[in-house]
Amino acid sequence: NAGVMQNPRHLVRRRGQEARLRCSPMKGHSHVYWYRQLPEEGLKFMVYLQKENIIDESGMPKERFSAEFPKEGPSILRIQQVVRGDSAAYFCASSPADRGGDTQYFGPGTRLTVL
Amino acid sequence: QKEVEQDPGPLSVPEGAIVSLNCTYSNSAFQYFMWYRQYSRKGPELLMYTYSSGNKEDGRFTAQVDKSSKYISLFIRDSQPSDSATYLCAMRSGANSKLTFGKGITLSVRP
């Protein structure tokens, strides 16, 4: 049973380029969460999605960041016009249902470096 | 004041020691409490989950929650070098699914 999959594992972008991070939830899971981990900081919630719906985006920066979880295919976190401050590890987690968050399983992360 | 505060590290102990990791929080709405372990360059792995106040034991690990003091703890007995990792406390209210994490503490168990 494959776990949460994220790709790419490492992504290098120059300032001003776009970054696309992909997350495939565990089989049978329909809820996806994105978190960001900055150096020397804990994990910070960004967005919570179900298929074709954004449930909670209270942690998303107001500009340049967007997320989607289409009916078919992986969830995508998109960062437009990246800046050096976007360099971080981005983690995706999935759960089978909104049962209190106790069953959020994390992927290995995508490490974004902005040059 | 941050919602979740975690004891700063790093922490280094000899093999076989009992380790105590702690977090405090300010949001009284939190009801679900978790501990995650994160090895270097890996994703967080769920270790323990507790609902409301009380204790939970799983092998060498014991999680405690004291809601009256807004304080949670993770105890590791007979610590092993393989326990060397970063430990993150996390919690959430019943109202939504987002987890609020502490900053994490890096534990090193010396052989």
Query: In this model, does residue B96 exceed pLDDT 80?
Result: no
**Chain B partners within 8 Å of A100 (Cβ):** 31-32, 51, 92, 94, 97
Q: What is the three-class DSSP state of B76?
A: strand
User: Which residues sit opposite B109 in a β-bridge?
Assistant: B13
**Sequence-ordered list of residues with C-beta below 8 angstroms from that of B43, at least 6 positions apart, any chain:** A4, A91, A106, A107, A108, A109
Confidence of residue A99 (pLDDT cuts 50, 70, 90): low
- The helix or strand, by DSSP H or E, that contains position B38, with its residue range, turns out to be strand B30-38
From CA A101, how far away is CA A90, in angstroms rounded?
Answer: 18
Q: Cβ separation of A43 and B101 shorter than 8 Å?
A: yes
Q: Is residue A97 predicted with pLDDT exceeding 70?
A: no
More confident residue, B34 or A2: B34
> In chain A, where do the E strands start and end?
5-7, 10-13, 19-24, 31-37, 43-50, 53-56, 65-68, 75-79, 88-95, 105-106, 110-114
d(CA B3, CA B101): 9
Measure the CA–CA gap between B73 and A8, rounded to whole angstroms: 35
Which of the two residues, B97 and A90, has the higher pLDDT score? A90
Helix or strand holding residue B42 (H, E) = none
Among the listed residues A88, A113, A99, the one whose alpha carbon sits nearest the alpha carbon of residue A17? A113
| pLDDT confidence bin for A108, thresholds 50/70/90 | very high
Nearest to A42 among B34, B42, B101 (CB): B101
A100/B97 touch (CB, cutoff 8 Å), yes or no:
yes
CA distance B46 to A111: 21
> CB-CB: which of A42, A48, A109 is closest to B43?
A109
φ/ψ of B44, rounded to 5, equals: -65, 140
Q: Determine whether the interchain pair B97/A104 forms a contact, defined as Cβ–Cβ distance below 8 Å.
A: yes
For residue A95 the two structure tokens come to: 């759960």
Among A79, A89, A77, A81, residue whose Cα is nearest residue A38: A89
**Given this model, what pLDDT does residue A1 score?**
55
Task: Answer whether B97 sits within 8 Å of A42, measured CB to CB.
Answer: no
| Average pLDDT rounded to a whole number, residues A83-111 | 85
Q: pLDDT tens-digit profile of A6-40?
A: 999 999 999 999 999 999 999 888 889 999 998 77
Write the single-letter amino acid at A93: A
Beta bridge partners of B107: B11, B85
